[in-house]
Amino acid sequence: MSEKSAAHAYIGYMIRSGRLKPAKKRRCVDCNKRAQQYDHHEGYGGKNKTNVQPVCCSCHLKRTYARGEKRTNSAAISGSKHYNWKGGVSRDRNKYQRNWRRKNLRNPAFRAAINKKSNDYYHAHAEEINQKRRVTC
């Protein structure tokens, strides 16, 4: 894993753990618009891994070109891909769950098991469910 992807992963970890506010809740240090990304303005290695500034997309692109860096996938920088703290890319949880359900609901055996489970739950809690319906209506 490169220093750059390790630094991005560590910033993602800090955001998820609450040690760092998400960039979208801060203002760009250059133009004062709403920030969308964090810029590792002093590099990626060593102590600089956590030395970041919130910036908007256009300012981040200007800074990157001014430093002479190669532009990377901006989706990875902005956080649309979720980096885990070990540096691997994990999928968007909601998208993963939707795809999993979509794939498995095509399977008749899986559908039958889901229906049986929901029917069993309903029959076990029917009195309680009907009572709640009467109260809320």
SS3 call for 38: strand
123's CB contacts (< 8 A; 6+ apart) are: none
Q: What is the CA radius of gyration of the chain?
A: 23
Q: Are 36 and 56 in contact (CB under 8 A)?
A: yes
> In this predicted structure, what is the pLDDT of residue 71?
64
The residue extents of the domains of the chain are 3-90, 93-136
> In this predicted structure, what is the pLDDT of residue 122?
67
6-45: per-residue pLDDT in tens? 888 888 888 999 999 998 899 999 999 999 999 988 888 8
- The span from the CA of 83 to the CA of 134, in Å, is 47
DSSP per position, 39-84 = E-TT-SSGGGGG--EEE-HHHHHHHHHHHTPPP--HHHHHTSSEE-
Angle, helix 126-136 to helix 108-124, in steps of 10 degrees: 70
Q: Mean per-residue pLDDT for 103-129?
A: 72
67-112: per-residue pLDDT in tens? 887 765 544 444 445 544 444 555 556 666 677 777 777 777 777 7
